[in-house]
Amino acid sequence: MDAGSDDSDKPVSHQGSIFKRLTSPFQNLFKREKLPSISWDPSDIYDFTHTNRGLMIIINNEHFKSHGPRPGTDVDVENLKSTFTDLGFDMQIHHNKTYKEMMKIFKSAAKRDHSQSDCFACIVLSHGDEVRMIDKHRPDQLERLDVIYATDGIMFTKDIIQQFSDLKVPSLANKPRLFFVQACRGSSLDSGVPLPVGDLDMPDGEMPRVEVSPCPLYKDSLIMYATPPDAVLLWLERLHHNMYNVNKME
């Protein structure tokens, strides 16, 4: 080998074989006919050219009358504040609010004029749980509902989201509403399940399927939870951050 030559750019034979083995299940997909190009209807794209990005409300409940505290949650708030400030949001941060105080905050935000805003966002960090109530449309069945804890009681998650419907906030019509909830949604632990990987050409009847329960659809709303339904949210106090943590993007 000549002095000064560089082998760093030469291919390593075993790397090619490993890559082939890893990608072999997808080869048939790559060989399929090219999909037709998609033409976008401008009406399907949100308008993010308004004067303001929008209002961001953060409710951070750490101390409660009937539950233990949530130490470390302030770190999450600082990270969220940094990230969403960089994204141009007008921040409102509220700590340790009662049920009435939380509803007052949401109703006040709903009364604002959002006509010059791109969107609206809300984050709630608190304890949470689930309740089962008789479904008014199907009296023989129970409806599962998520709840969030105020410092003095509970509120239904859906009651927060419904405060910002088109009917109640016309200036948010056709604009995205973003809701992030960091709270438990039950008491079960999600231990996970094996995820089988099959051939992409396997008949549909043989592919593994996951049953998904119907959930309410809220127009122009993105609703993100830290946990799946029925599950408890685990967080590590010693690391001073929760599992659902939005870190500042470099």
The answer to whether 189 touches 232, Cβ cutoff 8 Å, is: yes
Closest CA to 164 of 92, 112, 117: 112
Task: Give the active site residue among 14, 122, 127, 137.
Answer: 127
**Does residue 127 carry a catalytic annotation?**
yes
**Does residue 14 carry a catalytic annotation?**
no
Task: Give the active site residue among 114, 119, 122, 184.
Answer: 184
Closest CA to 223 of 81, 120, 110: 120
Compute, in degrees rounded to 10, the torsion defined by CA atoms 171, 175, 180, 186.
90
What is d(CA 72, CA 241) in angstroms, rounded to the nearest whole number? Answer: 6
What is d(CA 109, CA 95) in angstroms, rounded to the nearest whole number? Answer: 16
What is d(CA 44, CA 236) in angstroms, rounded to the nearest whole number? Answer: 41
User: Active-site positions?
Assistant: 127, 184
